[in-house]
Structure 1
Amino acid sequence: MPIISVIIPCYNQDQYLDECLQSVSDQTYTDWECIIVDDGSLDHTEDVVKKWIEKDSRFQYLKKINEGVSSARNLGIEKASGEWILPLDGDDKIGSKYLELASKEFQNNVDIIYSIGEYFGEKSGIFASEPFDYPSFLMENQIFCSAFFKKSDWKKIGGYDTAMKGGYEDWEFWIHLSADKNQLKVKHLNEICFFYRIKPESRNVDAMQKNDASLRDYIYHKHPEVFYKNLNSLKEYYHENQKLKRENQHLKNLVNSKRNVLMNRILNFFGK
């Protein structure tokens, strides 16, 4: 049986799927299986996947009615043989050494392994580059969906919440996992191994803009014990953040003041 199961839920993403599956095929670590879960796509997803199955038996294909990404991930993980799970959305991709680098951490008593991420498509830039910090994580998700975790942990907490259809289902999953453990052990790889495609219709971007408040309220009400337990740390985080904002504003004002002085000097000099 493979050590790692890559789970790829997809819905109408046939134009991106080849690139995603190629990134899995290119892995330097070879002890993996890849389960593509077609969440009721109306495009040519099945035709795209069929070519990969014929080329490499490590690729598998499941099709289901459309019920959302959480349901699709859960089905794929349920069928998975691997001890470690890596979700990967059908329009994203991973670096060729991601599985190899993560596998070196499997014996180090960790719960989650993730890396630095990079945007591509409609946006460029680096994200998730800072070391993991739990209070910061409770305020804003630091761990993207394509992080490694044990299938046994997924089973223990009941999988992804299928009620979360507007986004943040990965954040809720990590919070739920942390609630089940005395201390969440997270390994952040100092390498760019995950590439997140930004499209005009990107699901998570839309969720951030439209559903942020309601999704957060859902998570807070579902896991109040996590936030109560860490209330003092969250207060400290908040006050430190406010302090940094004030200091940042002071620096901005100082820079603007100096800029105005310099501009006046230039105008006075050339105005003579």
Structure 2
Amino acid sequence: MGSPKVSIIIPIYNSEEFLDKCIKSVINQTYSNLEIILVNDGSTDKSLEICRKFKKIDSRIILIDKENGGVSTARNTGLDIATGDYIGFVDSDDFISNKMYQKMIESMIQNNSDVVECGYFTCDSKYKNIKIHELRDSIIDGEYQCSYMYLSKTNTTNYNVNKLYKKSLFDHLRYPGYKFSEDYWVNTKIFFKCQRKVTLKECFYYYVMNDQSAVRKDFEYNKRIDTIKAAQDLYEFHYHRYPDLCPFIALYICGYVLTFYFNLNMNTTNNKIYKQELREIFKKYFPEIKNEALGQIKFKGLYIYMLAFKFNPKFYLILKNIYRKLSLSL
């Protein structure tokens, strides 16, 4: 029996500055049985030209050129044609260690796992390492425990890119239409189907801080509210499956309510309707943060902020601004 095939899906949009390094890092993997799916999502720079260059020199590359539809549609396009036994994702402004998939596939086979996750580095746009994000070596069994560890943010990340998945986990599952929190949404559904997950301490993925990436652009409420909508969808999903996991999702929702409320306050445009919407969301989900989820934040600043917001959102903003000024002065 030959070595299993890994399909690596790379969604690409206007990444000419980083794309060369990204694709080279995938091509140069020590594990060679790869299907490299480049999905150009309507780039207007030279990204497509770069993709065509690499396609000519590596027969493992499949290039798809489509109209712009966002990262979720690009990943779904890749999933629809992937023929590998396993699925990996790499973002086009990031890069990976040349032994990443060798190490992950070895662990996947040795442990007969459904998902393998590794640590990652954060780099600046000049590829200088800023921070190391190590995880702990571990093996988790059972869909409940896998779901619990993920939603409680225990020894894991929300990302898709530092994970390798059995392709069968994506049967009848695709990325949602949300513009944010699509990783969180998909991983929650994945871990509900996961029987064994392996976590590797080592860091093989390099996350590049790109100022043009979606999460780092100026705050746009109509788009960013998808973060909360995705989580609300997941709350309903688990309410009828593992309801004791819902407090963790409620915590996720309320945390973003506070973040978005503060961002709206920094914006001088009329946003009363948006603020009212956030207050109503908080009112619904804050009482659901209980048990272990509450214990996670009981003695941390976030809980103080939430209590202040519950008392009066203006009081929360005062506290937040005081902390922000103190942080800037240090």
The TM-score bracket by the shorter chain reads: 0.7 to 0.9
Shift of 1:196: 0.8
Deviating more after overlay: 21-30 vs 233-242: 233-242
The aligned counterpart of 2:292 is: 237
**Tell me, what secondary structure is at the counterpart of 1:23?**
helix
Q: TM-score, normalised by structure 1?
A: 0.78
The aligned counterpart of 1:160 is: 175
- Is 1:84 the counterpart of 2:94? The answer is no
The aligned counterpart of 2:186 is: 173
Deviating more after overlay: 144-153 vs 203-212: 203-212
Shift of 1:215: 4.0
| CA distances 1:187-244 after superposition (whole Å, capped 9, x unpaired) | 1111110111112232234589944444433432354335514358884422432455
Look at both structures and tell me which one has the larger radius of gyration over its CA atoms: 1
Distance in 1 separating the partners of 2:97 and 2:196: 23
**Tell me, what secondary structure is at the counterpart of 2:296?**
helix
Seen in structure 2, the aligned counterparts of structure 1 residues 245 and 184 have a Cα distance that, compared at 3 Å, is farther
The aligned counterpart of 2:70 is: 68
- Is 1:190 the counterpart of 2:201? The answer is yes
**Tell me, what secondary structure is at the counterpart of 1:36?**
strand
- Is 1:144 the counterpart of 2:159? The answer is yes
Distance in 2 separating the partners of 1:85 and 1:154: 9
The aligned counterpart of 1:120 is: 123
Letter in 2 for 1:127: H
Check whether the contact 1:131–1:188 (CA below 8 A) recurs between aligned residues. Answer: yes
Q: 2:148 aligns with which of 135, 156, 167?
A: 135
Seen in structure 2, the aligned counterparts of structure 1 residues 41 and 184 have a Cα distance that, compared at 3 Å, is same
Structure 2: state its 5+ residue gaps. 139-145, 249-288, 305-330
Superposition RMSD on alpha carbons, in Å?
Answer: 2.9
Letter in 1 for 2:151: L
The alignment of Structure 1 onto Structure 2 pairs a total of residues equal to: 242
Structure 1: state its 5+ residue gaps. 250-272
Check whether the contact 1:135–1:237 (CA below 8 A) recurs between aligned residues. Answer: no
The aligned counterpart of 2:51 is: 49
Matches of residues 189-208 of structure 1 in structure 2 within 5 Å?
189-205=200-216
Letter in 2 for 1:39: D
Shift of 1:96: 0.9
Distance in 2 separating the partners of 1:145 and 1:13: 19
Distance in 2 separating the partners of 1:200 and 1:236: 38
Letter in 2 for 1:120: C
Matches of residues 210-225 of structure 1 in structure 2 within 5 Å?
210-211=224-225, 212-225=227-240
The aligned counterpart of 1:27 is: 29
